[in-house]
Structure 1
Amino acid sequence: MDYFGLMPEDCLSEILSFTSPEDTARLSTSSRGFNFAAESDVVWEKFLPSDYQNIISKSKSLMASPSMKQLYFSLCDSPILTDGGKMSFSLDKKTGKKCFMVSARELAISWSDTPHYWSWSSHPDSRFSEVANLRFVCWLDMRGKIETRLLSKRTNYVAYLVFKLKSGYYGLETANTFVRFVDRESDNEAEERASVVSLSTQEEHGENRSKRRDNGWLEIEMGKFFNDAGEDGDVEARLMEVRRLSAKGGLIVQGIEFRPE
């Protein structure tokens, strides 16, 4: 007998609101009562970040959603641009945790203002209006920051460089990456524990290699960190290859994404 089906829907909605989106989907298939309750705005608003209204108020790209559930999945599947197109925001579908990508224009990229080394253009597959195109450098160094107060609290995060490689790219076999809290660790200290990664899609034994995302872009893990109470100021992710001063080219950068682990 479906005992949950005999309980008031508002009671079941309250129960579901203390679970997770993944648990709610599972429970909705186990009971007719839970199935009805799982459509409630009470449930899905609890799964949205507490500051979701403030975040989406900064965007011009969000379509109206008739229910909290539809809004939730819209934010999971279709990132919105915020802060004048400088960042994008989305939700992790399983947990409802916040994901942000900092656009290439907001990254600190050495020589990016020199057309001989870097160019800027639109890209049909990018969520941002511009991407950075590496023409030729010997010194590759880029970093992106985000305020920890923007991220979900008590959450493990991973920073990813999101990029593509042009046909005939070169000099991008390896680079060093790290993530640091700006106010707690110096660049030099963080460099000592930097990880070696490979932007190349070719096999590189023993190195963190790039992976292909569902949308066709590549991503490489730059480092991990734990966001506790969101009171640690800025967190910075950095990728660099400045030791082997060989020629490098063919890299297209969309941005750096900060995503729950």
Structure 2
Amino acid sequence: MESESTVQATSSNFTVGIEFSALPEGCIAGILAWTSPRDVCRMSAVSLEFLSAAESDALWETFLPADYREIIGLSSESSSHLSISSKKEVFFRLCNSPLLIDGGKKSLWLDKKSGKKCYMLAARDLTITWSDTPMYWTWISLPHSRFIEVANLNQVCWLEIKGKINTGMLSSMTNYVVFLVFQRNDRFYGLKNVPVESSVGMIGGVTTKRVIYLDAPQVESSNHPDHDFGERFLQYENVISSMTGNPDPASLKKRIDGWYEVELGEFFSGEGKGKELEISVMEVKSGNWKSGLLIEGIEIRPKFCS
């Protein structure tokens, strides 16, 4: 049987062996690299050892995309970003200050929680039917938009918006969600309570289709006998939506930047081998003339992002 002094010595040696204070800073940084940016920020408040390692350039380089220098180089703001000495500062600059790339037709930033790439395709980067005809669409500037121009719907009967992005531009092996970002002005009509079809998928692959609303469906108060039927019909639609994975009307949300967003669908980026993702928003079945819609763009960001 081991003596009490032997057990104490063994216990003491084991305790010393697991103390983080005894580990080199680079080793702690290497361990933290297996977590996430959010976790690193939380753990940096635990001890001085964590705090020092959490400032490591080597650590924050692992959270930046491998091609972050090339990405920054595509923007007119590249000099201000690349002149920052700290990789942690570069990371948070890319999270908090989206870059305009591709001639201002795309916006790129990083998700704070995961470090994954997020994009918004500007309205000018989309294919909008009749957008080159001022009678139907005009291009205007708004002070609260990140882009120089947004698309303003004057009047159309055929509403069709399409966007494309190469998956090689996205973070690999990531579940993404796609949103239409828009506003409605005081001339909004023709789309109230009208189902709009959306689709998201790889060209030549599986496509996810949904029914969305750009104005949350409502049944106006009425004593008409059809009123109760209308309410029951909307309840039925919501049940079907939940069974098929389609978002309910509540998925239309107002963002902190003042715009609205509605979820169009999801997809998995895979290994980022350069497949083409196609996104579509269409309403051509009602026969309604439509107006008062402002399109800022289509946003693509990781699911469960910050």
Name the stretch that deviates more: 60-69 or 35-44: 60-69
Amino acid of the structure 2 residue aligned with 1:196: V
**1:145, 1:172 → 2: CA distance?**
24
**1:15, 1:31 → 2: CA distance?**
15
Deviations 1:227-246 (A, max 9, x none): 11112521011100011110
User: Counterpart in 2 of 1:45?
Assistant: 61
User: Counterpart in 1 of 2:8?
Assistant: none
Amino acid of the structure 1 residue aligned with 2:215: S
Structure in which a larger fraction of residues adopt helix: 2
User: Counterpart in 2 of 1:167?
Assistant: 186
**2:125, 2:282 → 1: CA distance?**
17
- TM-score norm. by structure 2 comes to 0.79
Name the stretch that deviates more: 69-78 or 22-31: 22-31
User: Counterpart in 1 of 2:213?
Assistant: 198
Q: In the alignment, is residue 148 of structure 1 matched against residue 190 of structure 2? A: no
**1:51, 1:167 → 2: CA distance?**
43
Residue pair 1:81, 1:88 contacting (<8 A) in 2 also: yes
Tell me by how many angstroms 1:17 deviates: 1.8
Tell me the secondary structure at the aligned position of residue 146 of structure 2.
coil
**2:187, 2:122 → 1: CA distance?**
25
User: Counterpart in 2 of 1:117?
Assistant: 136
Residue pair 1:4, 1:31 contacting (<8 A) in 2 also: no
Deviations 1:166-223 (A, max 9, x none): 12411223311110111325xxxx4xx6211111156585234411111111111111
**2:275, 2:53 → 1: CA distance?**
39
Partner of residue 98 from structure 1, selected from 92, 117, 129: 117
Partner of residue 254 from structure 2, selected from 212, 215, 235: 212
Structure 1 gap segments, 5+ residues each? none
Tell me by how many angstroms 1:151 deviates: 0.6
Partner of residue 246 from structure 1, selected from 269, 277, 288: 288
**2:22, 2:278 → 1: CA distance?**
52
User: Counterpart in 1 of 2:45?
Assistant: 29
Residue pair 1:183, 1:232 contacting (<8 A) in 2 also: no
Deviations 1:98-157 (A, max 9, x none): 001111011010110110000001111111111000010111000111001111111001
User: Counterpart in 2 of 1:178?
Assistant: 199
Tell me the secondary structure at the aligned position of residue 103 of structure 2.
helix
Q: In the alignment, is residue 258 of structure 1 matched against residue 300 of structure 2? A: yes
Deviations 1:57-107 (A, max 9, x none): 000135333311111111111111011111110011100000011110110
Residue pair 1:155, 1:228 contacting (<8 A) in 2 also: yes
Structure 2 gap segments, 5+ residues each? 1-15, 220-233, 239-247
Task: Note the aligned Cα RMSD (angstroms).
Answer: 1.8
Amino acid of the structure 1 residue aligned with 2:259: W
Amino acid of the structure 2 residue aligned with 1:49: P
**1:74, 1:202 → 2: CA distance?**
39
1:25/1:49 CA distance change after superposition, 3 Å: same
- TM-score norm. by structure 1 comes to 0.92
- Greater C-alpha radius of gyration: 2
Tell me by how many angstroms 1:39 deviates: 0.9
Tell me the secondary structure at the aligned position of residue 113 of structure 1.
coil
**1:260, 1:245 → 2: CA distance?**
35
User: Counterpart in 1 of 2:277?
Assistant: 235
Amino acid of the structure 2 residue aligned with 1:34: F
% identical equivalent positions: 46
Residue pair 1:154, 1:226 contacting (<8 A) in 2 also: yes
**1:68, 1:58 → 2: CA distance?**
18
